[in-house]
Structure 1
């Protein structure tokens, strides 16, 4: 349940659960948006010729998850199931992103985003460089049928 307050929450204090389990940690999540694509409509007998905007299809961007590589193959196995057409296609799961408060209370998040029927469409491996000292980071793009915020 969203918790209103006068000051904004920090964006670094979050967890991601896939099918009610925190299986991997992420350093960044982006693309949590929802859009209704308008349909332009005008009646042929309308003397004003004004176009009306009617609600059309609901559209969601892929949600981008980034994480440092830790050796866990959980996301790759899920992506491989989607690629190879495992037992169901697509192999959907429920993904929940919880923004935590300063007390890090996982049971009472400040805000929650729920992705319904989510599945990974793309995994991007890290950029490897012998000259750098950054962490090896992979990216997973996940599409979904619905986004709910609470």
Structure 2
């Protein structure tokens, strides 16, 4: 059977923290990596500028999720605020069109929360209250 090369839908994803679905996430932004180039100039007549691979830097991942009675995400943040960050493995999982079958997966090793923003509260609003948390992590793997 030929491989399906259709792109995944951006709304079909789930997020697991230590293999447990922790919240109802509405958005996941910022997943990225940058390898910083180290430039040097060769000696000689040409003096060509070349680049070597330098330090790897992972972008902070922003998670947005609905406010509920669960305090799991808040407690995770509190540990960071107290200086005892609880490093957890996080997986961002793209789901196939059926909404249940796993497609691609990105694993973030040793992630911990470094920033939180509360929901926008508006007396005339009708939208769900959404919190935002930023994570930093040590390593990214696509599985």
Tell me if TM exceeds 0.5.
yes
Q: Which residue of 90, 112, 117 corresponds with 2:110?
A: 117
Paired residues, what number? 141
CA distance in 2 between partners of 1:18 and 1:6 (Å) = 28
Deviations 1:28-79 (A, max 9, x none): 0011111101010124x33211110110011111000001111211111011
Q: Which runs of 4+ in 1 moved over 3 A?
A: none
* Cα root mean square deviation, aligned: 1.3
Runs (5+) with no aligned partner, structure 1: none
SS of alignment partner, residue 16 of structure 1:
strand
| Unpaired runs of at least 5, structure 2 | none
Match of 1:10, SS? coil
Residue among 52, 60, 67 paired with 1:69: 67
TM-score of the pair, normalised by structure 1: 0.88
Relative to total residues, which structure has the larger strand share, 1 or 2?
A: 2
TM score, norm. by length of structure 2: 0.92
Structure 1 residue 146, shift from structure 2 partner = 1.0
